[in-house]
């Protein structure tokens, strides 16, 4: 096989690059070559909202369905859930999933907020729920770092800044972080990788904001990370991420999802 040759089987997620041929699960996630693609089996009513992983399995959030797959994209478990679940995170074997309950992208008070973080076990059984009323514009994404949860979400038109809401392990509110940039409908995804938070946002085009741990902006990339990101390791100078994208399949009138391994270095996303 010639160096750099790549073969992608979309539903089987079989990858071949630089002499490696076989299923994605044959190597550790950190060893996946840049450009490798994983396709989640099946089609779903709603488009993918985010992903989380422990390095063994991937959890995909499809707004009204949670799906657990291996790294070949094979479905291990799928459960219907209340609409609208967003970008999740995985902590100590539990999946934390944000839910926006009807207050999306509009001005309301905390008392009216119907935003939650729902917690599922590894088999996608609901085990508890936390209210996050401070996230008044709609809870759309959650990440865990250094003993704290960080929740992002919707935003009304006209706002010139975005917000991340910080909570302790028991979802007691700590503070609101203000980030001075404009996006459409707020922050869609949040992941911590290589010393930075990575925020996926809608715009024209969609884009990614990279911040430090205090949410000071360090870079902006014209690359869409709006429907899911997984940290695959690396250094601050050379980061490897698994980034999802959404596909509408007219043949089945349903939504599918794939994810590609990218490398971020020298201020750019690279996928080959």
Q: Is the pLDDT of residue 105 over 80?
A: no
pLDDT digits (tens, 9 = 90+) for 227-267: 999 999 999 999 999 999 999 999 999 999 999 999 999 99
Q: Is the pLDDT of residue 157 over 70?
A: yes
Residue 245 within any structural domain of the chain: yes
Q: Is the pLDDT of residue 224 over 50?
A: yes
Residue 76 within any structural domain of the chain: yes
pLDDT digits (tens, 9 = 90+) for 160-202: 999 999 999 999 999 999 999 999 999 999 999 999 999 999 9
pLDDT for 109:
53
Cα separation, 191 vs 32, in Å, equals: 19
Q: What is the average pLDDT across 90-95?
A: 98
pTM of the complete model: 0.89
The boundaries of the domain holding residue 190 are 43-270
Q: Which of 78, 184, 63 is nearest to 123 (CA)?
A: 78
Residue 17 within any structural domain of the chain: no
pLDDT above 90 as % of the chain: 82
Residue 246 within any structural domain of the chain: yes
Number of structural domains the chain divides into: 1
CA Rg, the chain, in Å? 18
Residue 26 within any structural domain of the chain: no
CATH number at residue 243: 2.120.10.30
Q: Which of 165, 162, 167 is nearest to 178 (CA)?
A: 162
pLDDT for 11:
32
- Please name the residues in contact with 174: beta carbons below 8 A apart, sequence gap of 6 or more: 148, 166, 167, 168
Residue 34 within any structural domain of the chain: no
Contact, 54 vs 90, CB < 8 A?
A: yes
Q: Is the pLDDT of residue 6 over 80?
A: no
Residue 118 within any structural domain of the chain: yes
Residue 205 within any structural domain of the chain: yes
């Amino acid at each position: 096989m010639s160096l750099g040759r790549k073969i992608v089987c979309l539903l089987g997620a079989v990858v071949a690059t630089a002499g490696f041929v076989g299923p994605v699960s044959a190597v550790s996630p950190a060893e996946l070559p840049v450009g490798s693609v994983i396709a989640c089996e099946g089609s779903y009513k709603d488009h993918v909202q985010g992903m989380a992983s422990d390095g063994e399995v991937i959890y995909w959030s499809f707004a009204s369905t949670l799906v657990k797959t291996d790294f070949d994209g094979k479905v291990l478990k799928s459960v219907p859930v209340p609409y609208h679940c967003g970008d999740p995170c995985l902590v100590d074997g539990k999946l934390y999933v944000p839910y926006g309950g009807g207050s999306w992208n509009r001005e309301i008070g905390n008392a009216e907020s119907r935003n939650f973080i729902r917690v599922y076990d590894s088999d996608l059984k609901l085990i508890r729920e936390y209210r996050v009323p401070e996230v008044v514009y709609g809870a759309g994404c959650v990440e865990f770092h250094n003993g704290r949860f960080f929740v992002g979400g919707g935003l009304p038109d006209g706002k010139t800044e975005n917000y991340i809401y910080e909570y302790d392990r028991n979802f007691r509110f700590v503070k609101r972080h203000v980030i001075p940039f404009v996006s459409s409908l707020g922050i869609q995804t949040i992941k911590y990788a290589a010393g930075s938070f990575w925020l996926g946002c809608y715009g024209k085009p969609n884009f990614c904001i990279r911040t430090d741990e205090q949410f000071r902006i360090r870079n902006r990339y014209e690359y869409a990370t709006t429907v899911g990101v997984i940290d695959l390791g690396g250094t601050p100078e050379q980061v490897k991420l698994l980034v999802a994208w959404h596909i509408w399949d007219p043949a089945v009138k349903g939504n599918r999802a794939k994810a590609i391994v990218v490398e971020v270095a020298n201020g750019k996303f690279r996928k080959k």
